[in-house]
């Protein structure tokens, strides 16, 4: 059994399009079904100040958070309050906690560039986009990796993120295919990375699937999430 801390975006790190609490609950359900001990907490400057959290020592930090665009270029007067949150989050990673970032988390914590560097990519305004929410198939491009070797493809109702900025060193496992008709006037057609891992001293995985609870509930989607959690928590 491992310890899993799920961060659900709230306030500054939420948005009008995602129910971070519902998404975080889906992640927690899958982690608990695998036998792990899970705590779900909302983002707040004092999130990591909770008594006993240091002793509990999360082995995995799963993030389902977004961001208020107004704070990306101008962090505002409250930015100082969040510094200890970001430093504590980074200290967990530097201390060896694995990282799972889901869906809108590629837009989270824009006032701390260490987050995008950790997960190896980000959603960028005026570049990144997605076709409308609906039936979606995501294609595995590395069927030898432990996360994806038995999946083939993932089908669910979801958004297909496209034109994310992805680090050169990211190892892509799953892509979303976008047709020229879908991309016309929006962005680039072709295969867009949506699940990847990052090299480093701890295991890090970004997964762009999971717009809402429905998207996270299909059998193949839950199988992918379970596989990701199992790989991230291998010691």
Q: Is the pLDDT of residue 73 over 60?
A: no
Q: Is the pLDDT of residue 188 over 70?
A: yes
Minimal CA–CA distance to 63: which of 95, 18, 125, 33?
18
Burial environment of residue 167 by CB neighbours within 10 A (0 to 12, 13 to 18, 19 or more): middle
* pLDDT computed for residue 123 by the predictor: 97
Q: Is the pLDDT of residue 226 over 90?
A: yes
Q: Is the pLDDT of residue 182 over 70?
A: yes
- What CATH number matches the domain at 3-232, 3.10.180.10, 3.30.420.40, 3.40.50.880, 3.40.50.300? 3.40.50.880
Minimal CA–CA distance to 104: which of 139, 154, 63?
63
Chain segment 126-160, per-residue pLDDT in tens? 999 999 999 999 999 999 999 999 898 999 999 99
- Please give the structure tokens belonging to residue 226: 């379970």
Contact (Cβ atoms closer than 8 angstroms) between residue 108 and residue 66: yes
pLDDT band at 55 (very low <50, low <70, confident <90, very high): confident
Residue ranges of domains in the chain: 3-232
Chain segment 80-93, per-residue pLDDT in tens? 789 999 999 999 99
* pLDDT computed for residue 75 by the predictor: 59
* pLDDT computed for residue 51 by the predictor: 87
Query: d(Cα 192, Cα 186) in Å, to the nearest integer?
Result: 14
For residues 162-166, give the mean pLDDT: 98
* pLDDT computed for residue 58 by the predictor: 96
Query: Beta 60-64 vs 3-8: how paired, if at all?
Result: parallel
* pLDDT computed for residue 68 by the predictor: 74
Q: Is the pLDDT of residue 117 over 90?
A: yes
Q: Which residues contact 185 (CB under 8 A, 6 or more apart)?
A: none
Q: Is the pLDDT of residue 78 over 80?
A: no
* pLDDT computed for residue 120 by the predictor: 98
pTM confidence score: 0.96
């Amino acid at each position: 059994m491992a310890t899993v801390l799920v961060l659900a975006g709230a306030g500054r790190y939420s948005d009008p399009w995602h129910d971070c609490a519902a998404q975080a609950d889906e992640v927690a359900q899958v982690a608990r079904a695998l036998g792990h001990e899970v705590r779900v907490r909302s983002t707040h400057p004092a999130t990591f100040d909770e008594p006993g959290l240091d002793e509990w020592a999360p082995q995995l930090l799963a993030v389902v958070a977004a961001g208020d665009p107004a704070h990306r270029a101008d962090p505002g007067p409250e930015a100082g309050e969040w510094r200890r949150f970001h430093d504590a989050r980074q200290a967990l990673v530097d201390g060896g906690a694995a990282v799972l970032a889901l869906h809108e988390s590629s837009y989270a914590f824009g006032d701390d560039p260490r987050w995008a560097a950790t997960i190896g990519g980000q959603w960028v305004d005026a570049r990144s986009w997605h076709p409308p929410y609906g039936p979606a198939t995501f294609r595995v491009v590395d069927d030898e990796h432990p996360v994806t070797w038995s999946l083939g493809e993932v089908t669910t109702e979801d958004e297909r993120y496209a034109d994310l900025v992805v680090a050169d060193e990211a190892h892509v496992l799953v892509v979303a295919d976008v047709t020229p008709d879908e991309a016309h006037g929006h962005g680039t057609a072709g295969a867009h990375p949506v699940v990847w891992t990052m090299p480093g001293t701890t295991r890090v995985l970004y997964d762009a699937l999971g717009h809402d609870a429905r998207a996270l509930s299909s059998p193949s989607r839950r199988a992918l999430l379970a596989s990701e959690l199992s790989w991230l928590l291998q010691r």
